[in-house]
Amino acid sequence: MKGPKRSNIRVDKTQILLVDDHPILREGLYRLINQEHDLQVCGQAASAEEALRVCSASQPDLSLVDLTLPDMSGLELIKNLRTRFPRMGVLVLSMHKETLYAERALRAGANGYLMKQEAPETVLVAIRKVLKGEVYLSESMSSRALTQWAQGEPIPALSPIKLLSDRELEVFELLGLGHSTRQIAEKLNVSIKTVETHREHIKLKLHLENATELAQHAFEWVQNETDN
């Protein structure tokens, strides 16, 4: 008599979902995580929509999420994940500078923030810390957060970009990537008028005179983010 069919997923291992639109990076994370005795990748997603679908089906213990996704801002995805799966841990793994995005990610509901250039061992440390119910940040960001808490007031922004709201930052980044107002409206599923309003707010906050300055500033910022 044949025994029961075995599932490929070991229920005694902590289940991890990978959310990133780069297959090579996902493959590297898959290999890194699956070599651990207590961790296992239960699913992968290249978009926010796919991530929500896989979460519903697999019920992972933790999602490792990139902030740059083709169909939705990673920050918006984190908010959705926190609402729909409140007991699941969320750890951001991003190329974006933590000085600008870590605080935003935590406000959105993430349990930690990790830069993609960190060593593989650090990724595992961050995953396990979040799984224990703790918050993971780099030493420099942790020190910054403690200083802010001790002083009882926000630390002055290192860059005017920090004055932008999450949605304004998203619009700013898309402008820097060369998207038109109409393309941004379609991508964010909002009206053209709404995008134009965001553009005006961005110009005011960054002290930019016109659309040309805005486009140039956005392009240079995206290039700097990519180079670093």
Domain contains 71: yes
Domain closes at, from 88, 120, 149? 149
d(CA 156, CA 112): 22
Residues 93 and 38 in one domain: yes
Averaged pLDDT of the chain? 87
| pLDDT at position 147 | 57
pLDDT at position 26 over 50? yes
| pLDDT at position 28 | 96
pLDDT at position 150 over 70? no
Residues 114 and 183 in one domain: no
The tally of domains found in the chain comes to 2
| pLDDT at position 97 | 82
The share of the chain scoring above pLDDT 70, in percent, equals: 86
Domain contains 3: no
Structural domain for 140, as ranges: 14-149
pLDDT at position 95 over 90? no
Residues 37 and 145 in one domain: yes
Mean pLDDT across 100-120: 92
Domain contains 7: no
Residues 138 and 165 in one domain: no
Domain closes at, from 149, 168, 193? 149
Q: Quote the pTM value.
A: 0.77
**Sequence letter at residue 159:** S
Count other C-beta atoms under 10 Å from residue 75's C-beta. Answer: 22
d(CA 226, CA 220): 10
Q: What is the tens place of the pLDDT at every residue in 135-145?
A: 999 877 766 66
Domain contains 6: no
| pLDDT at position 98 | 84
Residues 169 and 209 in one domain: yes
Residues 195 and 137 in one domain: no
Q: Which of 72, 29, 23 is nearest to 50 (CA)?
A: 72
Residues 141 and 168 in one domain: no
